[in-house]
Structure 1
């Protein structure tokens, strides 16, 4: 039995000594994750944007919204509203001029007049970057999803929609940031018909009530 124990010790001790030596040489790494410099609480946003996709018109948006931030990464865009000033495209003008297309054509009546909605926002990314080694810019990226009610030009124009999108926020200070949102509303215009209404929007956001 004694010989067996001696043999086992001779096999284990070199390995244990080697592992201890490696642990002393490489004691491990410590990751330091900085807290967010800027935090959000009550956010009021004012924005401008475009409805770029429809072949018959382009919409110029004016928007306002209020967002409540529960945590650094989770928020509720309680309400948002947008009005669209619509401009005819050259294609629509040609159809009306050359083919006597009616302004009340179903294709023309699907242009957006205004919309209101609400979204949940998830912001898993926060970081900072150096600009020309002179200035540090803090930013965050987020996903959003919710519901919208759209007023189309149609006589029965109120239609529900599902809104999905993503955005980037660049911080100027604790109380001021700038958002760029890319979203798409899937609008239910009939029992089996859905139209897509993408939006591009740039907003100025004012932050109130947050503490560092």
Structure 2
């Protein structure tokens, strides 16, 4: 009986051993399969709640120091800046007073005063009246020609005054700096017109007038202005002969604009 009991136990162990080995083998195979699956799965990136880093502005002066992001904005050629003129002229009058000097006469020194009155139809076009009151004296060269060389100078013509009307064209508006201290807006203009030059022989000679210059805005009412005026005319000397003359004037003065400026 005792021998039979041990025989049963031994037989049971023989039967259970292959089953345990099979279970262990299946477990190992499952672990290997799971490891292979994990290798083929892409690794998950950690989720970040922070925004991309940029150069922050200084908390004190609130000044931007990193402009690298501008490359993602719209091209600058598609951006327009609209700025009102500092010194608007449309529908306004201008009164100008200044001093002038004749720059291209080798025989006489001619200086004088200039008065101008303008009305601007738009920022580009205007009408202007001009008056030049002039005084003339002989240069030393002219005196030497008459006194030493015996050359007659009475036939030389110089202007006593000029009056005329111009059409003004103002195509350019710009700004410039004054020693990096102040920005001064300015207009560059051209004008052409017709008038009359009174000569020293009291002859009123028809005159073609051309001019160009700049108007530098000091405020909405006052401006510094300079220009070159070029007058072409034919006149008779004392001997009765007619000759062509041209006078180039450099003029500098102050302009006053009125009525009070109102932006469009």
> TM-score range with shorter-chain normalisation?
0.7 to 0.9
**1:53-132 mapped onto 2 (5 Å cutoff):** 53-77=104-128, 79-102=129-152, 105-107=154-156, 110-132=157-179
How far apart in 2 are the matches of 1:111 and 1:192? 13
How far apart in 2 are the matches of 1:74 and 1:100? 51
Q: Is residue 96 of structure 2 the alignment partner of residue 49 of structure 1?
A: no
Shift of 1:165: 1.7
Structure 2, unpaired ranges of 5+? 1-71
How far apart in 1 are the matches of 2:168 and 2:230? 15
How far apart in 2 are the matches of 1:132 and 1:158? 46
Structure 1, unpaired ranges of 5+? 1-24
Q: What do residues 22-42 of structure 1 show as CA deviations (whole Å, max 9, x unaligned)?
A: xxx664421213221111211
Kindly tell me the number of residue pairs found equivalent between the two proteins: 183
Shift of 1:53: 1.0
Is residue 148–residue 185 contact of structure 1 (8 Å, CA) maintained in 2?
no
TM-score (norm 1): 0.80
**1:6-25 mapped onto 2 (5 Å cutoff):** none
Shift of 1:101: 4.1
TM-score (norm 2): 0.65
Shift of 1:102: 4.5
How far apart in 1 are the matches of 2:166 and 2:200? 24
Q: Is residue 232 of structure 2 the alignment partner of residue 182 of structure 1?
A: no
Shift of 1:59: 0.6
- Aligned CA-pair RMSD: 1.9
Shift of 1:186: 0.9
Is residue 57–residue 111 contact of structure 1 (8 Å, CA) maintained in 2?
yes
Q: Which secondary structure does the structure 1 equivalent of 2:143 belong to?
A: helix
For residue 32 of structure 1, the aligned residue among 77, 81, 91 is 81
Equivalent position of 1:7 in the other structure = none
Is residue 177–residue 183 contact of structure 2 (8 Å, CA) maintained in 1?
yes
**Higher RCO, 1 or 2 (CA under 8 Å, sep at least 6)?**
1
How far apart in 2 are the matches of 1:162 and 1:67? 18
Is residue 86–residue 217 contact of structure 2 (8 Å, CA) maintained in 1?
no
Q: Which has the larger radius of gyration?
A: 2
Q: What do residues 123-146 of structure 1 show as CA deviations (whole Å, max 9, x unaligned)?
A: 111111233332111111000100
Equivalent position of 2:257 in the other structure = 207
Shift of 1:117: 0.7
